[in-house]
Amino acid sequence: MRSALKITIVAAIVSGMFTVAWGSPETFSIDAASPSVPGVDQSDLLNPGMSVQIPKANLGLGAGDELDALSTGIDAVQDNNIVYFSVDRLTLGVAGPLTPLDVFGQAGLSQQAGDVFVTTNALGVGSVPLGINSVHINQNFFGEVPVIGPLVNNAGNQDNLDALSFEEFDLTGDQWQDRPVYFSLDSLSPTLVAGGFSAADILSSPSGGGVIGVFATALQMGLQLNDDLDALALLDLNSDGIVALGTDMALFSLAPGSPTLAGLGASPADLFLTTFNGTSFVRYSAASLGLQAATDNVDALEVQVPEPATLGLLLLGGLTVFRRRRK
Ligand SMILES: [Ca+2]
Ligand SMILES: [Ca+2]
Ligand SMILES: [Ca+2]
Ligand SMILES: [Ca+2]
């Protein structure tokens, strides 16, 4: 790319030109190794700015639990998506036309783990994965450490965003969820043992709080009980909190060390698609996201439909679903 064009694109991204019309992160979580813990807990749902939206106790979670994937169940998962994702502290990325404002560049500045990236074309415009990504939201927007801009080198530790939603869960400001919370836990979470759950299960906590249930089991996705699902975009088509086999859809990723990855020769940065029919397949490879299969890990996910007026289409899609249910 000509350097003048590249500088223009980079300047546009820094100024936020490409971020305003796109998905707006409303809820996130960070991991236990983040320097902002224990100021907030690794299982709390957080607002941008690092205030607590839903404390872990209101989800039914306790000490030592690690919430590592999150969804409202109304994500526009389909066969082709623009993918929004986060990566872990060890992720390196692949150099691309938008470096340094991509995973590769942010990793070089030691500030990649708290960012949200989006799959784009070479001009930085949202696209189904083509092997190119760019910074969608830098970590300072979330109040994550380090609170610095995206072009500054970070000498210290960094918060790791490990769960993401474009929607809010608390709509009334009382710190209780007003819609179901779909989530997953990591393999060391005490609640897994207490509830007989797998780290690869998609769990749910109902509107208003209460007892944690299983939305979909590891086996319904063709996973093994000792896999760990660590990133999730979910469409529970009729929003009833009960999985519809062959109809509901999820895009997800697995954590490093999950035996299914070794069995398939797949990467913790690959994204799998399932309709809960007992199988999953790799829909987007690490390379298609601009990531390295051997070293990189996707640890949070959101999606949008790949048309220009994505927000309008998202609303239309939601209304269609709603009408279909009421027939
Ligand atoms: Ca960053
Ligand atoms: Ca992350
Ligand atoms: Ca998990
Ligand atoms: Ca992963």
- List the beta bridge partners of residue 51: 47
What is the model's pLDDT at position 178? 96
pLDDT value for 20: 34
Q: Residues 96-114: what's their mean pLDDT? A: 98
Task: Provide the pLDDT for residue 210.
Answer: 83
Q: Is the pLDDT of residue 313 over 60?
A: no
Ligand nearest to the CA of 150: 1
Tell me which of 10-19, 55-64, 105-114, 133-142 is least confident: 10-19
- Ligand closest to 69 (CA) is 3
Cα 320 to averaged position of ligand 2 atoms, centre (Å) = 33
On the question of pLDDT at 131 being above 50, the answer is: yes
Do 116 and 30 form a contact (C-beta atoms < 8 A)? Answer: no
Query: Alpha-carbon distance 272 to 264, whole Å?
Result: 12
Mean pLDDT value of segment 28-40: 98
Pick the closest to residue 220 from 257, 195, 248, 241 (CA basis).
Answer: 248
Task: Please give the distance, rounded to the nearest whole angstrom, from the Cα atom of residue 298 to the centre of ligand 4.
Answer: 4
CA distance 69 to 165: 9
Is residue 288 within 8 Å of residue 129, measured between CB atoms?
A: yes
How far does the centroid of ligand 1 lie from the alpha carbon of residue 184, in Å? 25
Place of tokens 């519809």: 244
Q: Model-level pTM? A: 0.88
- Residue 6 — very low, low, confident or very high, per pLDDT cuts 50/70/90? low
226, 237, 202: which is closest to 216 by C-alpha?
Answer: 202
The beta-strand segments (E) located in the chain are: 27-30, 45-47, 51-54, 67-71, 82-87, 116-119, 133-137, 161-165, 181-185, 202-205, 213-216, 229-235, 249-254, 271-274, 281-284, 298-304
pLDDT for the residue numbered 22: 65
Quote the CA–CA distance of 243 and 275 in Å, as a whole number.
Answer: 9
CA distances from 254 to 99, 185, 296, 297 (A): 26, 12, 12, 8
pLDDT tops 70 at residue 109: yes
Distance in Å, CA 301 to ligand 4 centroid: 10
pLDDT at 219 over 70: yes
> What does the pLDDT average to over 63-78?
97
Residues with CB under 5 A from ligand 4 (ion): 230, 253, 268, 297-298
> Which pLDDT value is given to residue 23?
79
Tell me how far the alpha carbon of residue 216 lies from the centroid of ligand 3, in angstroms: 12
Question: DSSP secondary-structure letter at 304?
Answer: E
Residue 235 Cα to ligand 1 midpoint, Å, equals 29
Chain mean position to CA 248: 18
User: Ligand 2 center to residue 160 CA distance, Å?
Assistant: 5
Instruction: Please report the pLDDT score of residue 308 as a whole number.
Output: 57
Mean pLDDT, range 197-216, rounded to an integer: 95
Ligand 2 centroid, distance to 121 Cα (angstroms): 22
Ligand 3 centroid vs 21 CA: distance in angstroms? 31
pLDDT score recorded for residue 14: 46
Q: Residue 3 pLDDT > 60, yes or no?
A: no
Q: Which ligand is nearest to the CA of 296?
A: 4
The string of pLDDT tens digits covering residues 245-285 is: 999 999 999 999 999 999 999 999 999 999 999 999 999 99
Mean of per-residue pLDDT scores for the chain: 90
CA of 68 to the centre of ligand 3 (A): 5
| Residue 277 near residue 261 (C-beta atoms within 8 A) | no
CA of 92 to the centre of ligand 4 (A): 14
User: Does the pLDDT value for residue 4 go beyond 80?
Assistant: no
pLDDT band for 325, please (50, 70, 90 cuts): very low
Confidence of residue 238 (pLDDT cuts 50, 70, 90): confident
